[in-house]
Amino acid sequence: IVVCPDAPYNGTYFFENPGGDAKSPVFKPAKRLSQGTPNVTPSYVDGKLIVMTPAAEFPNFTRTGLTTIPFNEA
């Protein structure tokens, strides 16, 4: 996953390495998932992907990227 919040490539992109070779990866063309936003941080809790910005969590990231209104724990 690569997030670019700036022009000209603003977006969230998924790059897949179908061969799984970490030393010499060959990626498929990128798939754009959603718009980009600054300061995105992925984490794993109990094996589940959690995607956050400094004040928001995106619980449906794997389905909707960063397009939905995030859940804020204020």
- For 5-24, the pLDDT digits (tens) are 898 889 989 888 888 888 99
Q: What is the pTM of this model?
A: 0.69
In this predicted structure, the answer to whether residue 62 has a pLDDT above a threshold of 90 is no
Average pLDDT over residues 47-73: 78
CA distance 4 to 13: 8
Using an 8 Å Cβ cutoff, are 3 and 12 in contact?
Answer: yes
- For 20-56, the pLDDT digits (tens) are 888 999 999 998 988 888 899 989 999 888 889 888 8
Peptide bond into 54 cis (omega under 30): no
* pLDDT band (50, 70, 90) for residue 74: very low
